[in-house]
Amino acid sequence: MTRTALALVLAAVSAAPALAQGRVPPDAATERLSFAPVVKKVAPAVVNVFSKRVVRQQVDPFWGMFAPSGPRTERSLGSGSIVRADGVILTNHHVIAGATEIMVVTADRREWPATLLLDDARADLAVLKIDAKGEQLPTIPIDAAEQLQVGDLVLAIGDPFGVGQTVTNGIVSALGRSDTGVSDFSAFIQTDAAINPGNSGGPLVDMSGDLIGVNTAIVSASGASAGVGFAIPAATARQVVDVAMSGGHAIVRPWLGVKAQAVTGEMARSLGLAAPQGVVVTEVWPGGPAARAGVAQGDVIVSVDGQEVDDEGALNYRVGAMKPGEGAQLIVRRNGGAAKTVETQVQSPPGEPDAEPLIVTGRNPFAGATVINLSPAAAIDSGVDPFAGKGVMVSKVDGGFAQSIGLQPGDFIRQINDRPIAATSDVAAATRAPAGAWKVVIERAGRTITAQFSGG
């Protein structure tokens, strides 16, 4: 077979009953068959998602006392899938993040105002609802078989660059991609189907027309498709939609209570392993599920419920796909010994100490910021490593002096005017009275920043 003929085989799809899904077309006649039947089935349920938000600009987003230049309006374009006939739509969190207005345009060019049912920033998914007024809208079913294989043919549908609904085809390039820098919680489907800005939130579908993933991110030096795209798998999408349909407004995912990292070749040798596999436990949360099961620092977790884990993202994904209280079976190696089975019960992350959120007001450097006491639950909700540290963390910055000096969510407040800060009540006490000068110590991503400001 020539290279050209082989390329045609891999790019084709057959609607012939005799051709089972996953098999290469056997002859030239089959090669000439089209993706059109799948597109005709799916495309009516793919929508455009427009969102608008008002933001305040600042000259120096890192640090420095610069005045904001005033509010401006940002608009975002993405895609989505109608997953229920009454107008429930699945898209990406980053498409609608911070939106003050969300509009959906269906394939027949009708415009619909949308409300947000559930926004799951950690999985980068959001569930929207439009009022179909009793009309039964076309839908895309979320895949339930979960039998995806590398090499399967797929289609990506969305609105790249705002040019209009566009279909691209490719294959599943890899499964379980978690070390992508996109999220600490997902095991992405990798595809070479062209995905570009505007495709975010749109469906990745198989040859049965089922949604197998939500197109989310690309790796590209130019910002355009380079053949490396990532989609959130159907299992995660289904979990988020199910919670939204049950009336929930947040996903409560369990955790194992460990911090881990991928095993490298050098680490494998030092751990007595024949080859790199699994993740090595670097920290264990006292009293957490892993600690209760006897997992210790230095142990290597090879798999969770029979699914291999090769980095911390994959571990988080496998555990997070469970329900709190559900049993989990871990395969663990210790000191290069034989693999052993460890039974544990995953739990919701602990919420102690209580967050006790405080919106800081007055004339001080933190005015406009919301601060919380950090617990594992609050850390995960905020997208912060639960093992990042203890103390008071900035969870939100909404204008004010805090924004003008570059304070960011995730910053820890360590001192105010030489006063140690251990709880939000300490922040309230330290900022209650005006001061002629302010000296603050902030910790950001492990770096300590000390700054001084004049009082007002």
List C-alpha distances in Å: 10 to 24, 61, 227, 292, 320.
Answer: 7, 47, 15, 50, 35
Which sequence spans correspond to the domains of the chain?
Answer: 45-130, 153-245, 258-345, 358-454
pLDDT at 63: 43
pLDDT at 102: 95
Spatial neighbors of 85 by CB under 8 A, at least 6 apart, are 132, 136, 137, 138, 139
In terms of Cα–Cα distance, which of 437, 390, 440 is closest to 416? 440
Spatial neighbors of 70 by CB under 8 A, at least 6 apart, are 56, 57
Class of the domain covering 258-345? mainly beta
- The span from the CA of 443 to the CA of 445, in Å, is 7
Q: Which residue has the tokens 């290069």?
A: 336
> What backbone torsions phi and psi does residue 279 show, to the nearest 5 degrees?
-130, 140
Would you state the structure tokens that stand for residue 37, as one six-digit string? 């039947």
Q: Which residue has the tokens 């004339």?
A: 363
Q: Which of 119, 120, 124, 206 is labelled catalytic? A: 124
User: Is 454 an annotated catalytic residue?
Assistant: no
- The span from the CA of 422 to the CA of 392, in Å, is 6
User: What is the b/e burial string over 266-277, where b = at least 16 CB atoms within 10 angstroms of the residue's CB?
Assistant: eebeebebeebb
Cβ 413 vs Cβ 372: under 8 Å: no
Return the half-sphere exposure (C-beta side, CA atoms, 13 A cut-off) of residue 217: 19
Helix H or strand E encompassing 386: none
Would you state the structure tokens that stand for residue 104, as one six-digit string? 């959906």
pLDDT at 448: 94
- The span from the CA of 88 to the CA of 105, in Å, is 13
Spatial neighbors of 440 by CB under 8 A, at least 6 apart, are 365, 366, 413, 415, 416, 417, 450, 451, 452, 453
Q: Which of 76, 200, 375, 382 is labelled catalytic? A: 200
User: Is 425 an annotated catalytic residue?
Assistant: no
Domains 153-245 and 258-345 share a fold: no
Q: What CATH superfamily classification does 45-130 receive? A: Trypsin-like serine proteases (2.40.10.10)
pLDDT at 336: 83
Cβ neighbour number for residue 6 with a 10 Å cutoff = 11
pLDDT at 454: 86
358-454: CATH topology: Pdz3 Domain (2.30.42)
pLDDT at 185: 67
User: Coil, strand, or helix at residue 30?
Assistant: helix
Residues (pLDDT < 70) of the chain are 1-32, 54-73, 179-185, 456
What is the pTM assigned to this prediction? 0.76
User: Is 249 an annotated catalytic residue?
Assistant: no
- The span from the CA of 422 to the CA of 9, in Å, is 63
CATH of range 153-245; options 3.40.1190.20, 3.30.950.10, 3.40.190.10, 2.40.10.10: 2.40.10.10
In terms of Cα–Cα distance, which of 179, 201, 186 is closest to 91? 201
Return the half-sphere exposure (C-beta side, CA atoms, 13 A cut-off) of residue 374: 24
Question: How many helices (H) and strands (E) in the chain?
Answer: 11, 25
pLDDT digits (tens, 9 = 90+) for 401-443: 999 999 999 999 999 999 999 999 999 999 998 898 999 999 9
* Percent of the chain as helix, strand, coil, to the nearest 5: 20, 35, 45
Cβ 152 vs Cβ 22: under 8 Å: yes
Cβ 354 vs Cβ 388: under 8 Å: no
Cβ 351 vs Cβ 372: under 8 Å: no
Q: Which of 79, 81, 94, 120 is labelled catalytic? A: 94
